[in-house]
Amino acid sequence: MNNKHLLSSVLAVVSVVFIMSCKNSDYVPNDNASDLILKSYSPRDFTSEPILAGDIETILKCGIKAPSARNMQPWKFIVVKETSVMQQIITNVTEGNVLIVVCRPEANSTADFDCGLATENMVISAQSLGLGARIYTNPVANINSTMKQTLQISEEYRAVAVLRVGNIEKNIDIESTASPRNNYEETVTFL
């Protein structure tokens, strides 16, 4: 075996070992979730470009992956794509948006917290796919009083939040669009 072949073989073995080691350690520091969160904002303006079905599925799977107390996974997600139904929930909704109505069972003391985590998981997932996402709780009272049948929310469940997902204009100035946050020093206490 000449030097060139020896080098190729060594590189091949090193590559295989690297790929195998990655399989068990997909959690790498470059995943960049922190950067994504620090750049996130809740858009109000969406385009009518439809969302890919695969992206909706990924977002919902990220919701399902959320942690929950005693792993009860109390959430149910109702996905609304029909514009006329979406408009009964959020009046200025844009065609191409998708609304995910997050529902919880009545009988579960930690369900609100768990559903909040699932909702935020879906927000981050949508943003990682280049989409915009905004959480709404305003429409919840109307959903629970008049739309449970339309949305096929069963008797023992109620809506707790609506997540609006859609395509957004690129090149948004995030600095000026995101709402300001309280100061780090005032918010955090180190002991």
Contact set with ligand FMN (CB under 6 A): 41-42, 134-138, 178-179
Smaller CB separation from ligand FMN, 10 or 170: 170
Min dist. Cβ of residue 21 to ligand FMN (A): 37
Q: Is 33 helix (H, G, I), strand (E, B) or coil?
A: helix
Rounded to 10°, the helix 53-64/111-128 angle is 140
Q: How far apart are CA 120 and CA 108, in angstroms?
A: 20
- Cβ-based nearer residue to ligand FMN, 10 or 174: 174
Query: CB of residue 6 vs ligand FMN: minimum separation in angstroms?
Result: 56
Whose Cβ is closer to ligand FMN: residue 15's or residue 137's?
137
Q: For residues 129 and 178, which CB has a smaller minimum distance to ligand FMN in the complex?
A: 178
Strand partners, 86: none
Taking the complex as a whole, the smallest distance from the CB of residue 7 to ligand FMN amounts, in Å, to: 51
Q: Which of 91, 169, 101 is nearest to 135 (CA)?
A: 101
> Closest residue (Cβ) to ligand FMN?
138
> Using CA atoms, how far apart are residues 78 and 75, in angstroms rounded to an integer?
10
